[in-house]
Amino acid sequence: MGRHTELDVGLVVTAHGRHVMVETPDGARVQCHLRGKKSECVVGDRVRWQASGDEGVVEHVEPRRNLLMRQDEWRTKSFAANLDQILVLVAGEPMFSESQLSRALIAAETAGIPVRVLLNKAELPQAEAARERLQPYRDMGVQVLEASLKTRPQESRELLRPLLQESATLVLGPSGTGKSTLVNLMVQDAQAQVGDISQALNSGRHTTTTTRWYWLDPAVRHGALLDSPGFQEFGLRHVSAEELPRLMPDLRAHLPDCRFYNCTHRHEPGCGVRAAVERGEIAASRYRIYGEIREELERTKW
């Protein structure tokens, strides 16, 4: 590490393949490429870089506090580092997928990143069904907030500002949930920041598929939102089937009650988890999702 300390330091604000946009401490942005075939940068990385003509070369990635990743059948995809929290947007219209929410929570738990859930469009009648689906998550300690980003913007801003203003927050959620509305509501000059990145990345090329870093206030640069496109299915192949129950807080609470230390919580006698499901202490939907993910992980062992 010592040999890199004299290099300029920067923050990765968007990344696509071998190209990243690095922001300097004074706010300038420089397109850089990565040194070496194996190096990888993600949004939120702190890097050491040096100028090379009009562009730059990233020579070193500083140690990360955390790294959020998902892993599918083909490859591991890391897409944000050094996060303070994740905000998952859900709604009743379109109705959110409990499986997707659970996978995002497990990925965050694996990375050690706190999560809040925001139920948007809280004024719609469909929100009541969404509240019911979210109850097991409230019960296991997930903070669930409610807002109407479009119809009550001022109220929503006042609710969210204290939670976001000093943090780097990754915003996740399916399209149609209100992520763009959230970014435009909370970020000063959001469109201008998009334009800067699009221009720097060659007239909008790739920008719809990359995670982007937005300063809530570009002049102050304390808090930031990271907007990740879509709500990609979180593959969890970097998680082992054995550790899965420990990453689900409602199941984890009942693991000490199992008779066997290597209980799979599916058919063994004396299983504390299944007994808790029967007593209604673990929601049937959560137990079903556990079974689906466990089966997936067992089927795809390395």
- pLDDT tens-digit readout, 121-165: 999 999 999 999 999 999 999 999 999 999 999 999 999 999 999
- Which range has the worst mean pLDDT, 27-31, 76-80, 127-131, 153-157? 76-80
Known binding residue 300? Answer is no
Q: Is 179 annotated as a binding residue?
A: yes
| CA nearest to 277, candidates 298, 258, 299 | 258
pLDDT given at position 208: 47
Q: Hey, what's the torsion of the CAs at 131, 133, 136, 142, to 10 degrees? A: -60
The per-residue pLDDT for range 230-287, each reduced to its tens digit, is 665 677 888 999 999 999 999 999 999 999 999 999 999 999 999 999 999 999 999 9
99 annotated ligand binder: no
Contact indicator for 49, 10 with CB cutoff of 8 Å: yes
* Residue 209 pLDDT grade (very low, low, confident, very high; cuts 50, 70, 90): low
263 annotated ligand binder: yes
Q: What is the pLDDT of residue 206?
A: 42
**Bond prior to 94 in cis (omega within 30° of 0):** yes
240 is in an annotated binding site: no
Confidence check: pLDDT of 59 > 80: yes
* Annotated binding residue 177: yes
Check whether 202 has a pLDDT greater than 60.
Answer: no
Predicted confidence at residue 76, as pLDDT, reads: 63
Rounded to two decimals, the pTM is 0.91
Q: Report how far residue 212's alpha carbon sits from residue 122's, in angstroms, rounded to the nearest whole number.
A: 27
The third-level CATH classification (topology) of the domain covering 67-227 is Rossmann fold (3.40.50)
Distance CA 21, CA 196 (A): 11
- AA identity, residue 85: Q
Please state, rounded to an integer, the average pLDDT across all residues of the chain.
89
Closest CA relative to residue 232, chosen from 107, 62, 81, 45: 107
What whole-number percentage of the chain has pLDDT above 90?
73
pLDDT of residue 204: 44
Residue 175 among known ligand-binding residues: yes
Res 203: pLDDT: 42
Judge if 67-227 and 244-299 fold alike in CATH terms: no
The predicted pLDDT at position 1 comes to: 46
Is the CATH number 1.10.40.50 carried by domain 244-299? yes
Cβ 187 vs Cβ 215: under 8 Å: yes
Indicate the class that CATH gives domain 2-61: mainly beta
Mean pLDDT of 72-96: 86
User: Taking Cα atoms as reference points, which of 68, 73, 70 lies closest to residue 296?
Assistant: 73
271 marked ligand binding residue: yes
CA pseudo-torsion sign 227, 120, 160, 116: negative
Confirm or deny that 32 is annotated as ligand binding: no
Q: Is 63 annotated as a binding residue?
A: no
Q: Is the pLDDT reported for residue 42 higher than 60?
A: yes
Query: Per-domain residue ranges for the chain?
Result: 2-61, 67-227, 244-299
230 annotated to a ligand binding site: no
